[in-house]
Amino acid sequence: MRIVSMSPEFIEDVVSIHCPRWRELTLEYRLKECGYWGDPRIFSWYLEALYSAGGKVIIALDGDDVVGEAEVVPEKFPTPVGKHAYLQMVWVKQEARRAGVGRALVRECESISKNMGLYNLDTIPTREATPFFLELGFREVESQILMEARSRPAPEQPKVEEATREEFPASAQMIAGQTRPSSFLWELLWEREEVGLPSPRVVKVRVGMWQLIVALFQPTKWDDHLYTLIWAPMKVGLGQIFNSAEVSLTLAYEMGIEKVRTQTWCKYRTAFEGAGFEPITRLRWMRKELNKKS
């Protein structure tokens, strides 16, 4: 087995290890089951966003066959957990599992992280994958909570102005929706309609002296909910976060979507509960601290 950098000729092969029967299945089913990795055109768009955010993609080859894939993206902007490299994906072909492929991919991602000048490698594992990451030395350092609310008009609406792609809030931290590095999430908001995904709504929200950015997007046209991302100044309080959550519900109401979801840090939970969000599940934010000398 050898590990190499991702290149365009492997796009369909990578889609095939995530979604083996993708050629036979409807696009709706593929995106529901496999996400961005279920369709070559959408996966290509996703990769462009990842590369724009400074990310790297590697694949594991057994001969000429792709048997695994991993993605790592730097987070160099403010977050509650500091700067880190984010292990966005580790996936091994079903028939090649339990043979050390996943471990080899993670080791290579550790090297990539250090080459980026980042010595914390973070990830949010699924419940099933958590034992694998614990064995590799990852430990929980924070937690997030997935929440959902019904859309509705807010009693009072703060001033809202449309935001553009060029207005990435580099000095702000993500208080909601940080399931990937912030610049990567920002890149994934744009040009969605070019690959058949619903267009987002991205606005600047003025709450007193604070400016926050609220983004809402429907993962696919078949999903029954919008997903909310919120960027806020470092010293923002729970009151301003509550107001931004209210804005997300109002915007969703105006867009005609009944449900709104977000994934926020547990310390901000009460602000979202005040706006009517209810918890669905708690998620571990895990980290492996990398040796600077090795």
pLDDT along the chain (294 residues), means of 10: 96 97 95 96 98 98 96 95 96 94 98 97 96 97 97 85 96 94 97 96 91 96 96 92 94 96 96 97 97 77
131 contact partners, CB below 8 Å, separation of at least 6: none
Q: How many CB atoms within 10 Å of residue 29?
A: 15
**Contact yes or no for 257/247 (Cβ under 8 A):** no
What's the Cα-to-Cα distance from 227 to each of 108, 178, 196, 217, 279, rounded to whole Å?
32, 11, 17, 5, 14
| CA pair distance 194, 164, nearest whole angstrom | 17
Lookup: tokens for 159: 């001033």
* pTM greater than 0.85 (yes/no): yes
Q: Quick check: helix, strand or coil at residue 205?
A: strand
* Helix and strand counts by DSSP (H, E) for the chain: 8, 13
Backbone CA torsion sign across 66, 72, 73, 79: positive
Question: Strand, helix or coil at 20?
Answer: coil
Residue 209: the pLDDT is: 86
The domain limits of the chain are 2-142+285-289, 145-284
Secondary-structure class of domain 2-142+285-289 per CATH: alpha beta
Give the model's pLDDT for residue 208.
83
For residue 50, the model assigns a pLDDT of 98
Token pair, residue 157, equals: 């609406």
For CA atoms 85, 119, 115, 82, give the dihedral sign.
Answer: positive
pLDDT computed for residue 173 by the predictor: 94
pLDDT of residue 294: 63
Structural contact between residues 287 and 84, judged by C-beta atoms closer than 8 angstroms: yes
Residues in CB range of 33: below 8 A, 6 or more apart: 19, 25
